[in-house]
Amino acid sequence: MAFKTRITEMLEIEHPIVQGGMQGVGYAELASAVSNAGGLGTLTALTQPSPQALRDEIERCRSMTSKPFAVNITVFPTILPPDYKGYAQAAIEGGVKIIETAGTQQVREIWEMVKPHGITVLHKCTAVRHALSAERNGCDIISIDGFECAGHPGEDDIPGLILIPSAADKVKIPMLASGGIGDARGFVAALALGAEGVNMGTRFCATKEAPIHENVKLKYIENDERGTNLIFRKFKNTARVGKNSVSDKVVEISARPDATFDDIQPYVAGAVGRELLQTGDLEKGIFWAGMVQGLIHDIPTCQELMDRIIGGAEEIVKARMNAMLV
């Protein structure tokens, strides 16, 4: 059995399950494995040190899968911005047909670059108003992130159970549900709430193909649904990360009335986060993680995870739900 939606048709994939672009994780090993399993794998542009490196990674991924995959370009508010347009051009020249975007309004410049090349734009957002804006500006697919998600959940604190159907009531283009989804139950629930597929990040980190250290994967299993910290709240740039001694320290420092970003910067720097992912030294920095950690109990292959979700979803729809109808 397969679940056919506008997402599967537009992206030309077997299952409406998308691997989100994740900094330090979205390499060819993971993206190709997700695509080969029938979903949509995603390379993360800013994980690569330059647009040329992204070109090389696109070619490496293409050598590992013949199926569609995406490139994520997230535009961050920063004093010295990366060459976002260079990364977009690398994706265009690499023949990538799907771009996942997120971030500040400057992301519209990326949309303007890629749309003339027939590239499908999948935009991640955390509020209905942002989803409607993206729709008006020509995006093809929306990924709506509930408060449970890893990364930046926005400042409205609306969980998926409310946010997903609220967006589905107003957005006309296909929509993915994101945040707190990691098994068949979440997949079916997302479809019931009005989404046409799901976007998963944390769950794909705890797979065999995810190119991060085993210690980090085991930490996802060790942490439960309470195993995250919200940081940067004081600076109106809320981020949800895995609970460890470092993120605990960041929360502690941030609670001080006179705390500034400079006080926590050494603990949250991207360089130390990347080192954590590669070395497995969980005292080194912070790592992204969602509340879905409470549903992660093993480290399967991407194919095993995909089969489990789709097979379990079929059982829920055919057996469990039907048995409740009288």
> 241-252 burial string, b = 16+ CB within 10 Å, else e?
bbbbebbeebbe
* Dist CA 102 CA 110 (whole Å): 10
* Dist CA 256 CA 113 (whole Å): 43
- Name which of 205, 208, 179, 206 is nearest 193 in CA terms: 179
Residue 95 CA to its chain's centroid (Å): 22
pLDDT in tens, the chain (326 residues): 789 999 999 999 999 999 999 999 999 999 999 999 999 999 999 999 999 999 999 999 999 999 999 999 999 877 788 999 999 999 999 999 999 999 988 899 999 999 999 999 999 999 999 999 999 999 999 999 999 999 999 999 999 999 999 999 999 999 999 999 999 999 999 999 999 999 999 999 999 999 999 999 999 999 999 999 999 999 989 999 999 999 999 999 999 999 999 999 999 998 999 999 999 999 999 999 999 999 999 999 999 999 999 999 999 999 888 888 88
Cα→Cα distances 146→172, 173, 199, 206, 305, Å: 19, 18, 11, 20, 22
What pLDDT does 2 receive?
85
Q: Map out the domains of the chain as residue ranges.
A: 6-212, 214-291
What pLDDT does 218 receive?
98
What pLDDT does 43 receive?
98
* Dist CA 15 CA 38 (whole Å): 6
Q: pLDDT tens across 30-69, in order? A: 999 999 999 999 999 999 999 999 999 999 999 999 999 9
DSSP code per residue over 268-310: H-HHHHHHHHHH--TTS---B--GGGGG------HHHHHHHHH
What pLDDT does 325 receive?
84
What pLDDT does 77 receive?
78
What pLDDT does 105 receive?
87
Is residue 46 helix, strand or coil? helix
What Rg, from alpha-carbon coordinates, does the chain have? Answer: 19
* Dist CA 29 CA 42 (whole Å): 10
Is residue 250 helix, strand or coil? helix
What pLDDT does 270 receive?
87
DSSP code per residue over 308-325: HHHHHHHHIIIIIIHHH-
Looking at domain 6-212, does it have CATH number 3.20.20.70? yes
